[in-house]
Structure 1
Amino acid sequence: MTQKVPGLFAPGELDPAADLIVLPDGLRIIGLDLSLTSTGVALPDGSTYRIKTRAKDGDRRLLVIRDSIRADLAEHRPHLAVVEDLPVHAMAAGRTGHVHGVVKAVLLDADVPYALVAPATLKSFAADHGNADKARMAAAAYLAADAKFANDKGGDMCDAWWLRAAGHDALGAPLFSMPQAQRDRLHKVNWPEAYRQRYVMGAAT
């Protein structure tokens, strides 16, 4: 069983209902904050939701996450997925690693290239602090684009939103202005070679 818990759209250019998104070459990026219990997803149109699973379903939760993301890829056909990488030292890394394996297989099946962003790098990019907590990440999203997220106590949708924003920023289609020092944090990410050849960091070629 899965429950899609919607978030709120950021206003203006980030509100898909406003139909104001203009991207170079129609660039579509999906952000994924993977978790066995609550995966945050930021779709290419800027909307966010969570894939909630039940502990009693055991490993079948992997299939729920797989099927939901597979449906998103089929519907939205993203050019790139930006995924939060596994934490280096965390007890939950093993369980989350199972989710990573399943989702990477889905992305490979769909021929969607992906980039892995370390948690500290994402936090530094978003909030200028490698140990920023969920509240600080949410505040940074609000300051950057008036973005708010409903039912997001764990910060899953917020992180996914920032992952999508990082992909746009790094590949020359920033969604909002940011200090250059924070943008430079994205140089640590190993972006797919096809995109590195097409875009210079921070400016489309």
Structure 2
Amino acid sequence: MTTLRVLGLDLSIAATGYALPDGQTGTFKGPWKGDWRLVAIKTAVAGHADAIDLAVIEDLPTHAKAAGITGMVHGAVRAVLLEAGVPYALITPATLKAYATGKGNADKTAMAIAALKRTGREFPDDNQCDAFWLRAAGLDWYEQPEFDMPKAQRERLAKVRWPEISAGVA
């Protein structure tokens, strides 16, 4: 079985957190202003499209689905993934928090503590922490977890609409 190459993305116009397939995390900020940030984020994601099998993206909160600059970032990134033929999954913030901590209303500190307890990893910002958990969720769902999670927390991932991944990968 080939190892699944998952990209975790916590999208934001100001600071997009990412977790690369090798586990490295970072925050994409860049010097760009206004709508040029959309192009910069789209270009950054496109640079990884050939090296991933799946992107796992934190979805917009339900009340923000139709508006806002973050929605534009989602549109730009989804367009890149579609054009590259890369499937993606959207995880609501509550589902991601429940997967990571067992509580759908966990705060950013609880997410960071959960990562520290499970893996010993610390992150310079919450964007990278969220991206880390998004990548971990994708690997876990496709039965390639990097660390153990409680069954009840893993079961939260069943709420996500996961794409089919080609047989050679998963």
Match of 1:69 among 31, 45, 52: 45
Match of 1:156 among 127, 139, 157: 127
Aligned to 2:162: 191
What SS does the corresponding residue of 1:25 show, helix, strand or coil?
Answer: coil
What SS does the corresponding residue of 1:40 show, helix, strand or coil?
Answer: strand
Q: Distance in 2 between matches of 1:92 and 1:35?
A: 15
8 Å CA contact 1:33–1:41 kept in 2: the answer is yes
Deviation at 1:92, TM superposition (A): 10
Check 1:190–1:85 CA distance in 2 against 1; reply closer, same or farther (3 A cut). same
Q: Structure 1 unaligned segments of length 5 or more: list them.
A: 1-23, 199-203
**CA RMSD across the alignment:** 1.9
Given the alignment of the two structures, is residue 80 of structure 1 paired with residue 57 of structure 2, yes or no?
A: no
Aligned to 1:11: none
Task: Give the alignment of 1:109-120 within 5 angstroms.
Answer: 109-120=83-94
Larger Rg: 1
Q: Distance in 2 between matches of 1:172 and 1:161?
A: 17
Deviation at 1:148, TM superposition (A): 1.1
What SS does the corresponding residue of 1:26 show, helix, strand or coil?
Answer: coil
Alignment coverage as a number of residue pairs: 168
What SS does the corresponding residue of 1:181 show, helix, strand or coil?
Answer: helix
Aligned to 2:11: 34
Q: Structure 2 unaligned segments of length 5 or more: list them.
A: none
Aligned to 2:26: 49
- The one-letter code of the counterpart of 2:18 is V
Over residues 152-200 of structure 1, what are the superposed CA-to-partner deviations in whole Å (9 max), with x where a residue is unaligned? 1xx10000000000000001101101110000000000000x23x86xx
- The one-letter code of the counterpart of 2:132 is W
Given the alignment of the two structures, is residue 182 of structure 1 paired with residue 158 of structure 2, yes or no?
A: no
Q: Distance in 2 between matches of 1:181 and 1:93?
A: 33
Higher relative contact order (CA 8 A, sep 6+): 2
Match of 1:168 among 139, 142, 146: 139
TM-score by length of 1: 0.77
- The one-letter code of the counterpart of 1:63 is V
TM-score by length of 2: 0.93
8 Å CA contact 1:87–1:93 kept in 2: the answer is no
Aligned to 1:13: none
